[in-house]
Structure 1
Amino acid sequence: MENKSDCFYLGSPSGMFSINKDDKLTLKLAMLIENRCLGIPVTEVVKKYGFSRSRFYQIKRAYAKGGSEALREGKRGPSRNYKRTDTVVNQIIRHRFLDPDTTPDVITQKMRQVGYDISKRSVERTITEYGFNQTKRKIQRCVFTPIRVEREVREQLARKVSSNYLGLWLLIPEHLRLGSWDLVKSWSGGSDEDIEPRLALQLIHESALCVSGVRPTRSLCHQGFELLNGLPDVATDKSIHELLETSTIAQSQSLQIALGKLRYSRGHYDGKLLAFDPHRIATYTRRIMPAKKSKPNSRARKVLQTFFCVDAITGQPIASTIGSSATTTSKAALELKELMKSILSDNGLVMADTEHATAKILNAFYEDEQFDILMPMFVTKKIKKIMQGLTYQRQWAGYALAETSYRMQRVNYPLHLIAQRSGEIEAEYQYKPFVATGISDLLKMVSEDFPERWTIEEFFNFEAAIGWNRAATMNLNIRYGKMSLALIAQAATFQLRQKLPKPYKVWTAKHLADSLFHSIDGDLKVKDDTIIVTLYNVPENLNLKRHYGNLPQKLEKEGVDPRIPWLFNFKVDFRFK
């Protein structure tokens, strides 16, 4: 056997037989023949033919088992599809059939989310092999459907998103702890797949940003905001209006009750001292209505009257309602009382201001076994005469208290009249009357409990920007819906505040939104079943890494499911760099 440039030659005394070097099958047979028939050692024969010793014995065994057919060159690479198994291929085809417009990026993301280790290239090859190539999409205006929303959200998540709105994603674990998704589903009547609860989330997060809406200024800077709500785009004014228009006041009241019960169970309310107060919101409605002045020298403006109940110890809102031509202060206060009874289980003392001193309110609270009410009274001639004739107990220098029974016109029961006297000289005495439906510790009620009523004023100063300082429309069901959804934003923000160091806990809602929710650069990407949110240059003294790093594990330890229903059961985790 001779080896020349293009051929091998097998020779004998009778002649030469040439073999092309590319004819691998004949070369293998010739190598076996030379070793077996001509007695050439294995070391020499493998050197001539360019094989290794181990390969020689593989060829020999293959020939013994299957003859020359077993020596044919097969296709290189794995002998089976160990990645694209039948199960994987079936799942790829299933996703493509369910949504023909879905992209390989989205299918890959869905597969990896449930544990399949598959690449985008493998998905593309499967789609091509089975003839499911996507045709070019037509550009057209269309209505979003749940399938389309999921596809486009996943397409955006398949790319890396950068934004300065990603600080808002810190509210996601607070929503999971609070149960916000179930609340908005119940309010909107939607399911996990529907769009309506996601529109409600947009309203909640607009409230957390302390803006009337990001809708008027849509731009690329909102990337990440729409995904936070489980939407591929920022919803239009029309979509938001239609959502609110279909809601009723009864639905919003049910939302407030459910939210209040959840917050009560989480310790957001003490429930012993409560404060009532009306709150007037400037409105830009075009309705014909009287304008009012907040101060004598201020400009008259149209206002919407609202009524709030706040826990005077924790400063957290419990419920709210709206005034109207048909809703007087008395009627609104009694509506609030019924909402409170549905939320709180402990007995409590309600503190209100003078405008709540009506016979209707006092009769209702006197008959109520759960709540008593304490409020100041107008100093009329009759009341002043009664107070001047009382015997006072001196509490400290210049301060004395007295108590007597008092009958008020149209009130069916005797009330407790508490007289507060200040001054040491009789000619300079000043009197302030209080009326209560129940009385325990006289000094504590007037000197310690009642001053806590100013907590509600602090609440308006610190939290009103969330959604209670502006009103565009006077449609009561729409306004009630927005105010109720703003309560969810306030609750989630409150839970976030509890994790911040003490100086940051007293930030106003507007300051918190400006400093944390949309002023920190970040990006997000998907890894398997988790959305990784990376926030850059976050001040270390905020201690966010301690509370939000390795978030899925922390939530599981708390007994909270870390999967996010409105983000198609992805989990979320945070990185701080």
Structure 2
Amino acid sequence: MVCLSGLPFICSPVTENRFFNQIPTAHSEEFLLEMGKRQKQLGYLKGNIVNTDSHSIRSFSRMHMPKSYLSKEKIYDKSIRTFWTQDQETKNPIFLKASYSGTTVSMAVPDLMDKTLQILQNPFLSAMDKEHFVGTLLSQLDEKGIRVILPIRNSDKRLKEMEAIDASQFTQRFEGRRLADVFTYLKDYPDPLRFLVLKVREDGETKYVGFITNDVNMTPRALLKIYRKRWRIENLFSEGDFLGFNLLVSTNLNAITANLALKLMAFNLMSAFRNDLGGEFLSMTPDLVHRHFLRNVQGKVKLHGDYIRVDVFGFEHQDAVRPLLDNLQAKLLKNGLDPRIPWLNNHKICFRFM
């Protein structure tokens, strides 16, 4: 309920900034690793197909930094670049890294993939966008045993290459479009790559769409179906906006990483909650779950000495929640947990249902 109601956001910006800035990046990444491994053990990560993408968070800081393109706002501005992996089947996030703008995928993705491998403990296929169309990067991923599927970058050279494919090689179909399964070469990548080319008739013209992959076993149709679900990671960024994914607490990367790690934990808690409820809740976004359970709830938050007291009035689901939150301090101490909340000035918290 605390995660749903957004209680962590009531502390002052100064307290929040001080709390997150004291956490080293290595500690936050270790937390993400352990949380990811636990997610895998519980079955919330399947680990066979991984979506990989970058996401820019707009910064209003006075700090000088290169500008990058913000797709949501459709402008160039200062931003923090984050790099994410997501389990395609469960739609849950796996790991993230925060970097300053100007950081390329070649700089960030190898370590991101190493951390993802540590969590999943098995090789996987990653669906990526064309920003990852870099020979040196794909060569590194190949050495790690990671298979990829991604679109090519459009260029006159690639267009001529696709136009030169003989019609007899378009022997397959995907969603009504002719499909060729051939090979191509990429600068700084040592071996030939499978080249999946779709021939598309659009507005009376013939157009080509190309994808490359280092997978040698899956059928072209299976690979393209996997790539089509890469957009699930874009939906993750959209859903996470409700949980504050696009809010920065600092310009320091250690603070940003710590803050995003806790927000990712909140997303995982919400995902587990939806999974336990089942049915219609499985497809609900975090804001819809919040609305469903907390609409029309009246409450009051007041500081009493060392305690933050939350009075909740007329909550229809209180019979389910009360056993979890009654005598909360004693329950935390029994489990060896400090009941003080660092980002709320080390106050303890108690709930009353009235």
TM class by smaller structure: 0.7 to 0.9
How far off its partner does 1:563 sit? 4.7
Call closer, same or farther: CA 1:284–1:511 in 2, change over 3 Å: farther
How far off its partner does 1:537 sit? 4.3
Q: Partners of 1:313 and 1:299 in 2: how far apart?
A: 32
Structure 1 counterpart of 2:328: none
Call closer, same or farther: CA 1:523–1:382 in 2, change over 3 Å: closer
> Contact (CA 8 Å) 1:210, 1:467: kept in 2 or not?
no
Deviations 1:327-357 (A, max 9, x none): 3221211121011011002331100000111
How far off its partner does 1:365 sit? 1.7
From 242, 245, 255, the equivalent of 1:478 is 255
Structure 2 counterpart of 1:137: none
From 343, 354, 372, the equivalent of 2:147 is 372
> Contact (CA 8 Å) 2:68, 2:101: kept in 1 or not?
no
SS in 1 for 2:266: helix
> Contact (CA 8 Å) 2:195, 2:210: kept in 1 or not?
yes
Structure 2 counterpart of 1:288: 64
Matched, 1:462 2:239: yes
- Amino acid in structure 1 at the alignment position of 2:283: V
- Amino acid in structure 2 at the alignment position of 1:258: E
1:128-167 alignment runs, 5 A limit: 167=1
- Amino acid in structure 2 at the alignment position of 1:469: N
1:234-273 alignment runs, 5 A limit: 237-273=13-49
State the TM-score, normalized to the length of structure 1. 0.51
Q: Partners of 1:327 and 1:454 in 2: how far apart?
A: 22
From 420, 438, 443, the equivalent of 2:198 is 420
1:61-210 alignment runs, 5 A limit: 167-168=1-2, 205=3, 209=5
Deviations 1:457-515 (A, max 9, x none): 11111123313112142111111111112111111222222233533443332343455
Q: Partners of 1:397 and 1:498 in 2: how far apart?
A: 32
Deviations 1:95-129 (A, max 9, x none): xxxxxxxxxxxxxxxxxxxxxxxxxxxxxxxxxxx
SS in 1 for 2:70: coil
Which of structure 1's runs of 4+ aligned residues deviate more than 4 A? 208-212, 290-293, 295-300, 521-524, 533-540, 547-552, 561-564, 574-577
Structure 2 counterpart of 1:432: 209
- Amino acid in structure 1 at the alignment position of 2:59: T
SS in 1 for 2:157: helix
- Amino acid in structure 2 at the alignment position of 1:399: R
Structure 2 counterpart of 1:492: 269
Matched residue count: 329
How far off its partner does 1:318 sit? 0.3
Q: Partners of 1:396 and 1:420 in 2: how far apart?
A: 8
Q: Partners of 1:293 and 1:438 in 2: how far apart?
A: 31
Structure 1 counterpart of 2:330: none
Deviations 1:198-251 (A, max 9, x none): xxxxxxx4xx545882124xxxxxxxxxxxxxxxxxxxx444333322222222
- Amino acid in structure 2 at the alignment position of 1:382: K
> Contact (CA 8 Å) 2:68, 2:102: kept in 1 or not?
no
Structure 1 counterpart of 2:121: 345
Structure 2 counterpart of 1:384: 159
Q: Partners of 1:325 and 1:396 in 2: how far apart?
A: 38
Q: Which runs of 5+ in 2 are unaligned?
A: 302-309, 326-332, 341-350
From 175, 180, 184, the equivalent of 1:406 is 184
Q: Partners of 2:152 and 2:233 in 1: how far apart?
A: 19
Structure 1 counterpart of 2:112: 336
Call closer, same or farther: CA 1:360–1:518 in 2, change over 3 Å: farther
1:500-539 alignment runs, 5 A limit: 500=277, 502-513=279-290, 516=293, 520-521=297-298, 537-539=314-316
- Amino acid in structure 1 at the alignment position of 2:190: N
Q: Partners of 2:72 and 2:276 in 1: how far apart?
A: 42
How far off its partner does 1:538 sit? 4.3
How far off its partner does 1:434 sit? 0.6
From 53, 76, 84, the equivalent of 1:277 is 53
Q: Partners of 2:104 and 2:235 in 1: how far apart?
A: 24
Which has the larger strand fraction?
2
From 337, 343, 350, the equivalent of 1:565 is 337
Q: Which runs of 5+ in 1 are unaligned?
A: 1-166, 169-204, 217-236, 525-532, 553-560, 569-573
Structure 1 counterpart of 2:86: 310
Deviations 1:275-295 (A, max 9, x none): 011111122212123445536
Call closer, same or farther: CA 1:511–1:424 in 2, change over 3 Å: closer
How far off its partner does 1:296 sit? 11
Q: Partners of 2:53 and 2:199 in 1: how far apart?
A: 25
Structure 2 counterpart of 1:356: 132
- Of all paired residues, the percent bearing the same amino acid is 21
Call closer, same or farther: CA 1:277–1:210 in 2, change over 3 Å: farther
How far off its partner does 1:396 sit? 6.0
Matched, 1:215 2:11: yes
Call closer, same or farther: CA 1:523–1:276 in 2, change over 3 Å: same
SS in 1 for 2:277: coil
Q: What is the aligned-residue RMSD (CA, Å)? A: 3.6
